[in-house]
Structure 1
Amino acid sequence: MPVPKPIIEQLRKLIPPLNGTLHKGQSGRVGVLGGAQDYTGAPFFAAMSALRLGADLSHVICSPTAAGAIKSYSPDLIVHPILREELSPEKVRPELDSILSRLHVLILGPGLGREDYMQSYTRMALSMACAQGMFVVLDADALWMVNQDISVIKGYRRAILTPNVIEFIRLSEALSIDSDAPADKKAGLVSKALGGVTIVQKGAKDIIAVDTTGDAADPEKSKVQGGEKELIKEQIEIDIKGGYKRCGGQGDILSGVVGTMLAWGKCYEGGAFGDNTIPVSRIPTLAAVGGCMVTRTASRFAFKKQGRALVTQDMLPELGNAFSEIFGEDAQYGDKGKL
């Protein structure tokens, strides 16, 4: 089923123009919080895919035990090894606040782990990001954090959750979603139970759902960041063909791509692109749709070249090609065309 053309047209409005009018940072500043001793690849893939899609700057906020490895993977990433096990979160808050103030979006979860100190830092960072009105993406062990305490994200409609099959089952159970509910309705039920947070249910096809109608009885609760009171119920399925091999790390690619599109949405909201026709409440859905389309297409391109030998790193060079495939060469190169 093709994605409706109006959605593609709205997505194109979020894409920063490549015409020499923007300065460094206006095409997105993305942060990834994750990376403990045993998990260095996941934050790298999320942060690097953000750059490969077109973000200007990509930061990794991690444990010192992971920083050396992540720095060695690419000099393009800005690495902040501030999540120290021996410190309390409050000791790190000022430095973390300084970093977050420079970002448009925060991705939480890739390579995070479940150690108490990393989970504590994540809770604090999420709270700070929400207070600043940032867009956020939650994946991997940030979803485990949500399962332990739904209140950390409930009602924050600038958030996107990207659970895989197992993570979605756990999230549904934590929210007491009826296990007998139709499979194609569960993502919407999860979104509604979380107060209108956008859900990307990853699988053979990706289901993107947002449902804020649970607030219909109380108009004050229907407010989203940005002042809108719109009630939304929408579900979009993305069944674009991807590669046939699934390997660890592809979900991290998706997080980075979605994060970049949210960063573009934040720049759009701030008027950087000179257009304000898209409601802020629409941006998470658009970013989720665009992220799924690009990631699936990059997976297909990489699999065509590598076949069974495909590893996640093979997808990184294909993100630009996937972007052009979906949005066209003019979106890739700007109105001045190729150099």
Structure 2
Amino acid sequence: MPVSRVILEQIKKLIPPLDGTLHKGHRPSSGRVGVLGGALDYTGAPYFAAITALRFGADLSHVICAPIAAGAIKSYSPDLIVHPILNELISSDKVKPELQSILSRLHVLIVGPGLGREPYMQSYAKMAVAMARERGMFIVLDADGLYMVGQDMSIIKGYRRAVVTPNVVEFKRLSEQVGVDPDTPSELRALLVSRKLGGVTVLQKGPVDIISTDSTGEEADLEASQLKGADADFEKAKETVHVDVPGGLKRCGGQGDVLSGTVGSFMAWGRCYEDGAFGDHKVPASRIPLLAAVGGSMVTRTSSRIAFSKHGRSVVTEDMLPEIGKAFTEVFEDDQPGGKL
């Protein structure tokens, strides 16, 4: 189904109000986002995801990366907090407490932008996801984070506070890896991938973004002893939303990283909402991943359209960053008197 008014209103409930009552101190309202990625060949992707989170409205944005990537990422923006701890030459036992300390400050972890497939980076990513699950954090998995899931689905299977964001090629590979019949009608595949992953929300990128969650199958049934903490309120449900908001006519490399940043920011807001920092607490935690995916998709596609309208064929991902605020206003604030969101 398309984005309904009900879904749109639920998404808006997750948006922190800009009324002067909230701050980034001991009780943050707009969330702290972490991006794990950035190795030898990839510094732009984690930057795009992390700076998007700030442009979108997160309080703080951290990049957890390899030392070899840190200098470049720091030079892109002084607004980012960069942690060059993913060192190939240091044992994971020494990195683990530092990583644990960083994650304790975050509301959401984005894994994959610029991660690469080097064994040491994949190992650190796997460790971070396990820690994030233990803490009940929201998680976004993209790019080589999806490659990691394809190698070992137990990393994320059954964790319903997660969103995966595959593009066309990644979705085809992931569908095959989880065992979805290739003859399945295209409109049902994302739902089945979600079911095979145990209720993880799937954001299938394409001409129309398809967001699905299905926790009704056997693969989604977790033993009662495994349901604890933040997972315990996730009931069985299935839902699919189609986002056909017009985007730009040119797809540039890095747009998926912007999407990871917008979805991650919404999930960070959702965690603050869940923790009582603002709002009426009427949106159940079980809907936050799907709502974040829908909201992030709408804003990313709109910012792509605005950037393309200005730059045409020459548009690059960097051109989208200044348009994120305008896109957010167009999607969520145009019908709000005084722009109170």
TM-score (norm 1): 0.95
Measured after TM superposition, the shift of residue 220 of structure 1 is 4.7
Q: Which deviates the most, 209-218 or 18-27?
A: 209-218
Residues 29 and 278, structure 2, Cα contact 8 Å, conserved in 1: no
Measured after TM superposition, the shift of residue 218 of structure 1 is 5.5
Q: Between Structure 1 and Structure 2, how many residues are aligned?
A: 336
Task: Give 2:207's aligned residue.
Answer: 204
Aligned counterparts of 1:135 and 1:99: Cα–Cα separation in 2: 15
1:51 equivalent to 2:54? Answer yes
Q: What is the percent sequence identity of the aligned residues? A: 66
1:142 equivalent to 2:145? Answer yes
Q: Which deviations, in whole Å up to 9, do the C-alpha atoms of 1:183-227 show, x marking residues without a partner?
A: 110000000000000000001110000000014995856958352
TM-score (norm 2): 0.95
Residues 324 and 331, structure 1, Cα contact 8 Å, conserved in 2: no
Q: Residue 259 of structure 2 is aligned with which of 234, 250, 254?
A: 254
Task: Give 2:249's aligned residue.
Answer: 244
Aligned counterparts of 1:216 and 1:33: Cα–Cα separation in 2: 27
Q: Which deviations, in whole Å up to 9, do the C-alpha atoms of 1:130-156 show, x marking residues without a partner?
A: 000000000000100011001000000
Mind listing any 5+ residue stretches in structure 2 that lack a counterpart? none
Mind listing any 5+ residue stretches in structure 1 that lack a counterpart? none
Residues 195 and 220, structure 2, Cα contact 8 Å, conserved in 1: no
Task: Give 1:11's aligned residue.
Answer: 11
Q: Which deviations, in whole Å up to 9, do the C-alpha atoms of 1:37-56 show, x marking residues without a partner?
A: 11000000000000000001
Which aligned pairs between 1:168-183 and structure 2 lie closer than 5 A?
A: 168-183=171-186
Residues 158 and 222, structure 2, Cα contact 8 Å, conserved in 1: no
Aligned counterparts of 2:134 and 2:222: Cα–Cα separation in 1: 21
Residues 31 and 268, structure 2, Cα contact 8 Å, conserved in 1: yes
Aligned counterparts of 2:203 and 2:162: Cα–Cα separation in 1: 11
Q: Is the partner of 2:140 in helix, strand or coil?
A: strand
Residues 39 and 111, structure 1, Cα contact 8 Å, conserved in 2: yes
Aligned counterparts of 1:217 and 1:301: Cα–Cα separation in 2: 39
Which aligned pairs between 1:1-339 and structure 2 lie closer than 5 A?
A: 2-24=2-24, 25-215=28-218, 220=223, 225-329=230-334, 335=340
Residues 18 and 333, structure 1, Cα contact 8 Å, conserved in 2: no
Aligned counterparts of 2:90 and 2:146: Cα–Cα separation in 1: 24
Residues 198 and 220, structure 2, Cα contact 8 Å, conserved in 1: no
Measured after TM superposition, the shift of residue 74 of structure 1 is 0.3
Residues 15 and 331, structure 1, Cα contact 8 Å, conserved in 2: no
Relative to structure 1, is the Cα distance of residues 191 and 89 closer, same or farther in structure 2, using a 3 angstrom cutoff?
Answer: same
Q: Which amino acid aligns with 1:91?
A: K
Aligned counterparts of 2:312 and 2:133: Cα–Cα separation in 1: 41
Measured after TM superposition, the shift of residue 3 of structure 1 is 1.4
Residues 42 and 249, structure 1, Cα contact 8 Å, conserved in 2: yes
Aligned counterparts of 1:85 and 1:216: Cα–Cα separation in 2: 35
Aligned counterparts of 1:175 and 1:219: Cα–Cα separation in 2: 17
Relative to structure 1, is the Cα distance of residues 265 and 79 closer, same or farther in structure 2, using a 3 angstrom cutoff?
Answer: same
Q: Is the partner of 1:227 in helix, strand or coil?
A: helix
